[in-house]
Amino acid sequence: MAVVTVRFLGHAAFELRGSKKVLVDPFLRNNPKAAARPEELEADIILVTHAHGDHIGDSIEIAKRTGAKIVAMFDVANYIRKQSEDVEVVGMNYGPTEVDGVFIVQVPAWHSSSDGVHSIGSPCGYIIRLDGRTFYHAGDTFVFLDMKLFNELYGPIDLAMLPIGGHFTMGPKEAAKAVELLEPKKVVPMHYGTWPPIASDPEEFKRLVGGKAEVVILKPGEEIEV
Ligand code: NI
Ligand code: MN
């Protein structure tokens, strides 16, 4: 089976390159840790986890140039559509779907979703099945027991991308508990170190996970094959 290459673009932004190119939360231009500029990226599908600026990021600009479809929660999708009518937006809600041959499940996340003031939809994470591999991008969230269901319904999860920065999301302790529930083969920590409030130590996360999964600490720009 062909491999899927996963590149960490900084903060919560990832690029999955297989038979399709999938971007998740491509926040680059205002991201002090961005590993790429929006104009450098190609995409077929862009997944957005919630309306906060550090997640919608440069989705619209990239979709306009590449023709990628933006997938987001129904209300967030409408919010994006209001900003640009030139992009194809797929609005959905918690549940499974297929977009261009990629199986996607929008799953709950415990967080908020807004333009900073007004609520827009609800936050989510994504299960992504691409070329026979299963990925979970948690979005911004606290840990919750239903993560166990994601493993039972869609597992085994080959790679989980989990926030560990604390303050707005899980910190290392909560994310290590999430690893117990999800039982992924590999886990990449994200959403830390971008700004002072979310400065947390990925080595502490690795210690807390112990042998329960392979923790792969990626610097922005680094990638792994799954
Ligand atoms: Ni957020
Ligand atoms: Mn965030």
User: pLDDT per residue over 41-89, tens digit each?
Assistant: 999 999 999 999 999 999 999 999 999 999 999 999 999 999 999 999 9
CA of 173 to the centre of ligand 2 (A): 18
Predicted pLDDT at 31: 97
What are residue 95's DSSP bridge partners?
A: 106
Average model confidence (pLDDT) across the chain: 97
CA of 217 to the centre of ligand 1 (A): 21
Beta strands 5-10; 13-17: pairing state? antiparallel
As a whole number of angstroms, the distance between CA 63 and CA 24 comes to: 12
Please report which confidence band the pLDDT of residue 104 belongs to, taking 50, 70 and 90 as the band edges.
very high
Q: Is the pLDDT of residue 26 over 80?
A: yes
CA of 1 to the centre of ligand 2 (A): 34
CA proximity to 59, closest of 31, 87, 93? 87
Q: Which ligand is nearest to the CA of 194?
A: 2
Q: What is the pLDDT of residues 115-162, one digit of tens each?
A: 999 999 999 999 999 999 999 999 999 999 999 999 999 999 999 999
Q: Which ligand is nearest to the CA of 166?
A: 2
As a whole number of angstroms, the distance between CA 97 and CA 91 comes to: 11
Q: Is the pLDDT of residue 1 over 80?
A: no
Residues with CB under 5 A from ligand 2 (ion): 54, 140
Whether the model clears a pTM of 0.85, i.e. scores above it, the answer is: yes
CA 181 → CA 48, 129, 156, distances in Å?
24, 19, 12
Q: Is the pLDDT of residue 194 over 70?
A: yes
Q: Which domains does the chain have, with CATH numbers?
A: 5-225 (3.60.15.10)
CA proximity to 222, closest of 7, 24, 28? 7
Q: Which ligand is nearest to the CA of 197?
A: 2
Predicted pLDDT at 204: 98
Q: What percent of the chain is modeled with pLDDT above 70?
A: 100
CA of 169 to the centre of ligand 2 (A): 8
Q: Which residues contact 85 (CB under 8 A, 6 or more apart)?
A: none
Q: What is the mean pLDDT of residues 7-32?
A: 98
CA of 222 to the centre of ligand 1 (A): 23
CA of 55 to the centre of ligand 1 (A): 7
Predicted pLDDT at 2: 82
Q: Which ligand is nearest to the CA of 123?
A: 1
CA of 13 to the centre of ligand 2 (A): 10
CA of 221 to the centre of ligand 2 (A): 19
CA of 43 to the centre of ligand 1 (A): 22
Predicted pLDDT at 206: 98
